[in-house]
C-alpha cells in the first residue's frame, strides 16, 4: 500500500522527521471533512428557511412561474365565463325567437350537453398539483366547444329555413275555412272552455264551430299536404288534417263530403269538401282547429276578419277553376 510522507519538526533534535500517513487514514479524514461540509450546508439551509423564514432562490423562481400560470388560468376562466354567458343568451334567443318563428322545436339540454358523461376522460389531469384548476378549465373548454358546435348547426338550420320565408308565409293558416259571406254561417262555439252541448259538462273546446247548412264548401286555409282523412262514427266524424309544415296543422271536422286524399298537396283556398253533421255533432257545422307544434291554438288569430266575400272569392276562384266547384262559392 502506498504511503504519504509528512514532515514534522522535532524540537528535541531540532530536525525534521518523516511521518508516514496511510491512504486509509487519509480517506477517513477526507470523508469526515465531506460529511461535515454536508452537515454544515443542511444546517445553513435549515436556519435560512425555517429559522429566518427565507425561501431558496429556486423556490422563489418556481413560485413566480406558478403565479404567472395561475394568473393566466384565472384570465382564461374569466373569458370562459364571458363566453358561457354569451352562448347562453344565443341559445335562449335561438329557441325562443328564431326557432319559434320558423316552427322548429327547441334543442333539448340533452342534445346540447351530450358527450360529457360516463367515463372520466380527464383522469390524466388528476396528478396536476393545482387543486383541480387545470382539469376544470380543460373540461369547461371542451363543453363550450361542443355547445358552440351545436349552436352553429342550429343557426345553419335556421338560415336554411329563413331562405324559405316566402314558403312559410304561404303555409301559415290565414283565411277562414268557409266563405265569410254574411248570413251564410254563424260562429256557434268559440275556442276555450264551454258547456259541452252533448254531455252538458264544462269542457275545453279546441277549435271554432262555423254553423251552416250541410253542403257548404270548405277550403284549405294554407298550403300543405293532406296528412289524414278519416270517417269516425263518434268524435270528429268525417274529418281532414292538413300538415302545413313549419309546425302548423289544421283540422276540418264533421264534414259531409271529402274531396281530397292522404298525401295530396293543397294550396291556400283549395276546395277540400263540404260541411256536414257527422260524428259527435248536434247540428250541421264545421269544427275548425289550428295546431302549432301539436298544441291547439285559437283559430280566431289565424284568419283575416277584414276579408270581404269578394276578396275571398278572388282568392279561391283561380285555385279551383275547372274542378267543378265554381258554383259553390258564387
Q: Which residues pair with 16 in a beta bridge?
A: 9
Please give the average pLDDT of every successive group of 10 residues along the chain, which has 330 residues: 62 70 74 82 74 67 79 85 87 79 76 66 70 79 86 84 77 92 89 82 90 95 96 93 93 96 96 95 94 91 84 92 54
Helix (H), strand (E), coil (C) string for 183-232: CCCEEEECCEEEECCCCCCEEEECCEEEECCCCCEEECCCCEEEEEEEEC
Question: What 3-state DSSP class applies to 258?
Answer: strand
pLDDT of residue 255: 96
Strands 202-205 and 192-195: antiparallel
Smallest CA-to-CA distance from 286 within 303, 310, 265, 261 is with: 303
pLDDT of residue 330: 43
Check: CB of residue 90 under 8 Å from CB of residue 129: no
Smallest CA-to-CA distance from 180 within 277, 313, 272 is with: 313
Question: What 3-state DSSP class applies to 310?
Answer: helix
Instruction: Report residue 218 as a C-alpha cell.
Output: 270548405
Neighbours of 178 (CB within 10 A): 21
Q: List, in sequence order, every beta strand (DSSP E) within the chain.
A: 3-10, 15-22, 186-189, 192-195, 202-205, 208-211, 217-219, 224-231, 238-245, 248-258, 265-266, 271-275, 285-292, 295-297
Q: Which residues contact 215 (CB under 8 A, 6 or more apart)?
A: 256, 257, 274, 275, 276
What would you report as the CA-atom Rg of the chain, rounded to the nearest whole angstrom? 45
Residue length of the chain = 330
pLDDT of residue 328: 47
Neighbours of 248 (CB within 10 A): 22
Furthest CA-CA distance within the chain: 158
Question: Whole-angstrom Cα distance, residue 213 to residue 26?
Answer: 130
Smallest CA-to-CA distance from 205 within 190, 188, 216 is with: 190
Check: CB of residue 275 under 8 Å from CB of residue 254: yes
pLDDT of residue 329: 46
Neighbours of 12 (CB within 10 A): 5
Burial of 285 (0-12, 13-18, 19+ CB in 10 A): buried
Question: Whole-angstrom Cα distance, residue 302 to residue 204?
Answer: 19
Q: Alpha carbon of 323 to those of 109, 270, 271, 329: distances in Å?
A: 50, 10, 9, 12
User: How does DSSP classify residue 107?
Assistant: P
Burial of 273 (0-12, 13-18, 19+ CB in 10 A): buried
Amino acid at each position: 500500500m502506498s504511503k504519504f510522507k509528512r514532515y514534522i519538526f522535532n524540537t528535541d533534535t531540532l530536525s525534521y522527521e518523516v511521518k508516514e500517513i496511510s491512504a486509509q487514514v487519509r480517506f477517513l479524514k477526507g470523508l469526515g471533512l465531506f460529511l461535515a461540509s454536508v452537515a454544515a450546508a443542511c444546517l445553513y439551509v435549515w436556519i435560512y428557511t425555517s429559522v429566518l423564514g427565507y425561501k431558496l432562490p429556486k423556490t422563489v423562481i418556481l413560485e413566480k412561474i406558478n403565479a404567472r400560470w395561475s394568473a393566466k388560468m384565472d384570465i382564461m376562466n374569466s373569458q370562459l365565463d364571458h363566453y358561457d354567458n354569451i352562448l347562453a343568451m344565443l341559445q335562449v334567443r335561438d329557441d325562443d325567437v328564431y326557432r319559434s318563428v320558423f316552427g322548429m322545436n327547441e334543442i333539448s339540454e340533452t342534445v346540447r350537453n351530450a358527450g360529457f358523461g360516463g367515463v372520466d376522460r380527464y383522469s390524466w389531469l388528476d396528478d396536476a398539483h393545482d387543486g383541480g384548476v387545470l382539469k376544470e378549465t380543460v373540461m369547461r373548454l371542451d363543453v363550450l366547444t361542443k355547445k358552440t358546435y351545436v349552436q352553429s348547426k342550429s343557426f345553419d338550420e335556421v338560415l336554411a329555413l329563413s331562405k324559405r320565408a316566402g314558403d312559410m308565409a304561404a303555409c301559415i293558416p290565414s283565411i277562414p275555412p268557409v266563405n265569410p259571406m254574411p248570413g251564410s254561417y254563424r260562429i256557434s262555439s268559440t275556442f276555450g272552455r264551454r258547456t259541452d252541448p252533448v254531455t252538458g259538462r264544462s269542457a275545453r273546446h279546441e277549435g271554432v264551430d262555423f254553423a251552416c247548412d250541410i253542403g257548404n264548401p270548405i277550403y284549405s286555409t294554407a298550403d300543405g299536404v293532406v296528412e289524414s282523412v278519416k270517417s269516425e262514427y263518434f268524435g270528429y266524424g268525417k274529418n281532414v288534417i292538413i300538415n302545413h309544415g313549419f309546425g302548423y296543422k289544421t283540422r276540418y271536422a264533421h264534414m259531409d263530403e271529402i274531396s281530397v286524399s292522404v298525401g295530396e298537396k293543397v294550396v291556400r283556398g283549395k276546395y277540400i269538401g263540404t260541411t256536414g253533421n257527422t260524428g259527435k255533432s248536434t247540428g250541421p257545422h264545421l269544427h275548425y282547429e289550428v295546431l302549432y307544434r301539436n298544441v291547439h291554438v285559437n283559430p280566431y288569430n289565424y284568419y283575416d276578419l277584414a276579408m270581404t266575400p269578394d276578396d275571398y272569392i278572388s282568392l279561391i276562384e283561380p285555385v279551383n277553376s275547372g274542378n267543378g266547384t265554381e258554383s259553390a262559392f258564387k
